[in-house]
């Protein structure tokens, strides 16, 4: 496999997730589903999970090296800010610093969990070699 192809494949999950986030953010508020009493929890939980997955996909693109965890988180937060700016152009939507904080928290939490899991697996994986 060529270096270019490997690089494209490693970034494909991040690009796909950024596209999905952009598409969801493009939906006018009048077309968003309502989830009754759980609306806030489901929508904000979706923010946290989405940006958590985005952060892990960035980390994956960087080879899942511990020294790149902070960069994956920073890129996720930067994308969260850009997404809130994008929402300012969508009918009925508005930018929210609270959403960026939720996104940043979700990214940090999921990165932390995945890095802890990957640390546990590495010694076991290398023991057999």
- Percentage of the chain beyond pLDDT 90 is 80
Tens of pLDDT, residue by residue over 27-57, are: 999 999 888 889 989 999 999 999 999 999 9
pLDDT of residue 128: 47
In this structure, the number of other CB atoms found within 10 A of the CB of residue 23 comes to 9
In this structure, the number of other CB atoms found within 10 A of the CB of residue 42 comes to 13
Tens of pLDDT, residue by residue over 2-31, are: 988 988 999 999 999 999 999 999 999 999
Q: Are 54 and 19 in contact (CB under 8 A)?
A: no
- Domain boundaries of the chain, sorted by first residue: 3-28+40-123
Q: What angle do CA 44, 47, 49 make, to 5 degrees?
A: 110
Q: Are 59 and 69 in contact (CB under 8 A)?
A: yes
CA 71 to chain centre: 13
């Amino acid at each position: 496999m060529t270096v270019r192809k490997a690089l494209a494949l490693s970034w494909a999950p991040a690009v796909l997730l950024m596209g999905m986030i952009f598409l969801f953010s493009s939906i006018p508020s009048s077309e968003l589903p309502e989830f009754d009493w759980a609306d806030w929890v489901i929508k904000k939980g979706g923010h946290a999970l989405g940006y958590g997955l985005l952060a892990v996909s960035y980390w994956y693109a960087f080879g899942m090296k511990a020294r790149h965890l902070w960069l994956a988180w920073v890129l996720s937060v930067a994308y969260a800010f850009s997404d809130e700016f994008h929402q300012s152009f969508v009918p009925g939507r508005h930018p929210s610093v609270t959403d960026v904080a939720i996104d940043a928290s979700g990214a940090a939490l999921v990165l932390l969990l995945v890095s802890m899991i990957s640390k546990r697996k590495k010694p076991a994986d290398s023991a057999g070699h």
